[in-house]
Each structure stands twice: as structure tokens, then as C-alpha cells.
Chain A
Amino acid sequence: MKILLCISNVPDTTTKIRFKDDNKEFDASGVQWIINPWDELALTRALELKEGSGGKIEKISVALVGDKSTEPTIRKALAIGADDAFRIDSEPKDSYYVANQLKELAKDFDIVMCGIESADYTSSAVGGMLSEMLEWPSVSSVSSLEIEGDEVKIRREIDGGQEVVSAELPFVAIVQKGIALEPRIPAMRGIMMARKKPLNVVEPIQADVLTAYESFELPPPKADVKLVDEENVKELVELLKNEAKAI
């Protein structure tokens, strides 16, 4: 069995978002790039599954659509423990384009894992689009995944509760919080080994782009907080009632 992790290269979660060129483009100066947090958790879970599979899971691969500048992020995934990596050498133009790029590669795998959303363009779309292009089932908002024999047992969050779902292979798992507790940190040995692991560069295929970013905006600045004395809690409640009309 083989598992593919689709990962994305995103600004560190503490990044102060800024734009340039008349708000037409994201200002990447000084930004630290990381593996998208959900993808990192998914990778951690995939590695746990492989280690517990008694050899049944032969390989964990990662795939990323991006230019050469994303390679440190891919190397990090290899250092965490992925066996090999594919970089599809193109700008990730939109979700539809990215899913198309991943499609050919994904066909060789039994389980494809994607994060529920990427911390940059946050569309929550690549995993779902990819599964439809492959005509595979998808299970989304997955918070736990176990493999028991030939059956995959999944816990997923739904609006208003949880479900336990079983899925046939091959399928796409779109994962979120809970899939693994903490992301695995690469060890020194992992970092050394990562340098020798294959990082295959793949040419992009011709694919349509359905959306384009025209411009960006930051939310309007917030008015200063109104502080109420801790001895005068009643005043806060009055404000909430009469001014904010929130209670």
C-alpha cells in the first residue's frame, strides 16, 4: 500500500499579512515558509500508520505544486520521514489547476491525504477537486484514521456531530485537527537522510485556471477597546445591552 501526501508551502502562522503593488500581490518579503499545519499533521499520521503496518504500507510520498523556492519545505517533509517527494514545477495558480497537476501522480497511490485547508488561500478545495477528477470517494474533515486489515476506519466531523465511516481503497482523505496530536519534528538523522532521498521534479501539464486574484484588502482597523473597571462589571453589561446590542 502507498500513501501520497499533498502538501502546500505557506507563510508561518504568525506572519503579519501585507500586500504590495497597489494591493495586487502578497508581500512575501521577510516571510518564513512552512509546511501547511494540517498537511504536517497528516504526514505525521501517515508515518505512524506505516510504522505500525508491519511492512504493509511500503511507501509515503509527498507532492507539492510550486517553484524551486519551495524545496526547503519539501526537504523538511523528507526529514520528518517521507520516503520520496515530487515537485510539480509550476506556480499553484488556483485550486482547480493544482488538483489537475496532482491527478496523474495520485493515480499510483491507494490513499491520498490532503489538509482541510491551506493557510494562504484557504479555499478548502484541492482535496475535494482531486478526488472528483480521479473519480474516487473522498472523506473530508477527518479527525482520525486507522487501517484494520483491508478496511479503513475513519472518524469525521460533520456539522453538529461526528461520524464513523469506512472507506474502500483507493480514496482521498481530507484531514483536520485530531488526525495526529503534534506534528513530528525532524531529528538530526532525518535531516541528514533527507538530503539523499529522491526529490523528483515533474513538468506541469496543461490545465485550465478558473479564477484569478484581482486585488487584496486588509480588514479595517478596529476602534480602541473600551475598558471597564473590574469593580464596575455592571457597566460592561449595560454597554453590551444598550450600545453593542449584543445581549
Chain B
Amino acid sequence: MSVLAYTENWDGKFKKLSYELVSYAKAIAENLNTETVVASIGAVEEEELKKLGNYGADKVVAAKDEKLKNLANQPYAKTLAQIAEKENATVLVFAHNFTGKAVAPRVSVKLKAGLAAGVTEPPSSYDPFIIKRKVFTNKAFANVKINSDKKILTLFQNSFEIKETENKASIEEFTPELTDADFRTEVKEVNKVTGKILLTDAEIVVSGGRGMKGPEKWENLEKLAEVLGAATACSRPVSDEGWRPHEEHVGQTGKIVAPNLYIALGISGAIQHLGGVSSSKTIVAINTDKDAPIFESADYGIVGDVHKVLPQLIEAIKEVKAEG
């Protein structure tokens, strides 16, 4: 028996998200009194693979097939199902991100394993297997029971604390059995975002709404993001109007983020917007309208004009940072 986590890599490197997944899988494995196995796909150096052991991986299984360089849903799912069978995994853990959403449902069918998507904590009970997950676009939680022998979970980002452990990981290479029929999609072009903090990785997100008043008024918002080491985001109308790129759109129909700090500038706090940001640990709102719904979800707020507040905020943060 084992608990298997799949950690994707970014140009051969793991991220905080990867370690969060391993820590989470480890917590479940401890409860089940079993091993934590981590699967990796693609070219990752031994030294990087070994790092997964710092967070509880007992064994790392690395599939390095050149054809698996880019994410392809079908062969990735097949590879992971083969690893799961070889390791006799009873619980599989994925991230609740684009990759997890692409692959986990396919693996679920291959293994006939019930899927609980968007979980935020370990199961509340193992027999029966009951786990809490987000539903209704993050407006509520459900306690879902998985009835199949094997279970698949996708973990909502930033919901489980990373724990370091003594490194006991062994590393093993794995050659998946794949045929040409598994490769019926072809990646023609990859455009990676570089030199910017990714919205979904960011500890702090600075976000602008229609109250910013126009695309030419983003300079101070960007400056604030820079002094905080934050990623920038926006509300839907802002991206619809083309003031900001679509990748920045957060909310129910955009990206879901859960940073430590979310700063909403000139955002009214519509229910669809909150669906994508309400899991943030601390929310700050700056808005001229004291009755704006965003203040009901915010922890801290200033009722005022964002363009008057921003320069002062930047200065005050610089001062605090300088104090250390």
C-alpha cells in the first residue's frame, strides 16, 4: 500500500506547491501507516528529485521519457496510473491546478477511483473515507464520502502547511509503457511567463478593478506590487475592457487565488469576484464607497480614493521594509 502524490515541475524545478503536496500526502500516509511515494514526469535532475524527501517522500518515482516533455493529458494519465498500480497506491494526490484538473479525472477512470476535487485538509475519517472539499465556486464546503477502494484527491493551493522531515527518499527511474496512440495531440508552441511572479504562486496579490479608472492609471498599482514582491491581478471587467491581460483576471470565471494577502483596489466585491479570492488569508480593500460589498469580506480597509491612498501606501511600506 502507499499514498502517491504527483508533483509537476517547471523547467526541471519544483515549487512550494510541490512540497505542499508532498507534506499533505505524508500526513495521509502517516494516518494509514503506509509509505509516501512521489511521482515526477519529465527531465528533473536527481538532486532536485531528492529534495522531495525533505518533505516526507519515502520514494520518488521519476518517469523521464523524452516524449513526456510537455503536458499531454492522455499519456500523463496512463503513466501515473501505471505508477499507481506498481506502487499499489490507495490514495492519489494531485494539485487542484490546470495540470491536476487535466490529469486526475483521467486517472480516476483508469483506476476506478472516486475523485474529491479541491480538498483543503486531510480526510476527517478514513473508514468510511470522508473529506471536506470546496463546492459552489468556493462559496461552501461539502463533506464527501468516497466509496471506491482507491481514492483521488486534488489539493486546493495554499491550504496545507509544509513540514520538513528527515530525508529518507530513494529515487527510482520508471519507463512507462506507451504507444503512438497515446500521443494524438501535439504541442506546437510553449509560451512561458518569465521574469514575473506568477499569480497562482504569489504570497501577495495586488488587484485592480474598474475603480482604477483606466489602463493608464496602473503605474502605482505596479509599483506597490513591486515593493511588496507581489503579483498583479484584476477584476473581470478590467480584463474584458482590455485594460489588463486576461491572465490577470481573478474570480469565478478567471483564476482562483489564495495568497496570504490580497489587496483589492477599486473593486466592488461582486459575488463572482469573491468566489476567486475569498480563500486569501488577509484581504485589504481600498474603495471610495463605504457600502461596497468588498468591505464585508475584507479584514482591513480604507474608505478613500485609491489614487490618493496608493502613493502613501507605497511610501509607508517602503519605510516598514527599511526598518526590517
Contacts and interface: CB of A to CB of B under 8 A. Distances in A.
Interface string B179-208: 000001111111111000010100010000
Given A96-B108, A140-B73, A228 B142 contact: no
Q: How large is the interface on A (under 10, 10 to 19, 20 to 34, 35 or more residues)?
A: 35 or more
A211 B114 contact: yes
User: Which one of B10, B136, B282 has the highest number of Cβ atoms from chain A below 10 Å of its Cβ?
Assistant: B136
A119 B187 contact: no
Nearest to A137: B184
Contacts of B114: 94, 96, 210-211
A159 B186 contact: no
A19 B96 CA distance: 25
Contact of A210 (B70, B148, B185, B320): B148
Contacts of B317: 237, 247
Contact of B299 (A121, A157, A208, A244): A244
A112 B108 CA distance: 19
A206 to B, nearest CB: 15
A32 to B, nearest CB: 13
Contacts of A117: 101
Interface stretch (B24-32, B41-49, B214-222, B301-309): B301-309
B109 A228 contact: no
Contacts of B299: 222-223, 225-226, 244
A215 B125 CA distance: 14
A238 B135 contact: no
A214 B319 CA distance: 51
Interface stretch (A59-67, A72-80, A84-92, A164-172): A164-172
A162 interface: yes
B296 interface: yes
B102 A211 contact: no
A85 to B, nearest CB: 24
Interface string A34-64: 0001100000000000000000000000000
Interface stretch (B54-62, B85-93, B158-166, B245-253): B245-253
Nearest to B108: A129
B300 A159 contact: no
A23 to B, nearest CB: 9
B92 to A, nearest CB: 13
Given A213-B144, A236-B313, A225 B285 contact: yes
Contacts of A149: none
B94 to A, nearest CB: 11
Given A171-B184, A226-B301, A158 B98 contact: yes
B281 interface: yes
A22 interface: no
Contacts of A121: 135-136, 142
Interface string A109-140: 00000001101111111111101110011111
A213 to B, nearest CB: 5
Contacts of A208: 112
B102 A214 contact: no
Nearest to B74: A137
9 contacts: A119-B136, A121-B136, A132-B77, A132-B105, A137-B184, A160-B198, A178-B246, A214-B143, A236-B284
Interface of B: 8, 10, 70-74, 77, 96-99, 101-106, 108-110, 112-118, 130, 132, 134-148, 154, 184-193, 198, 200, 204, 228, 240, 246-247, 249, 252-254, 260-261, 271-272, 275, 278, 281-282, 284-285, 295-305, 308-309, 312-313, 316-317, 319-320
Report the 10 A-B pairs with minimum CB-CB distance, sorted nearest first: A128-B105, A210-B114, A230-B304, A132-B109, A164-B189, A161-B192, A246-B261, A233-B312, A132-B106, A140-B102
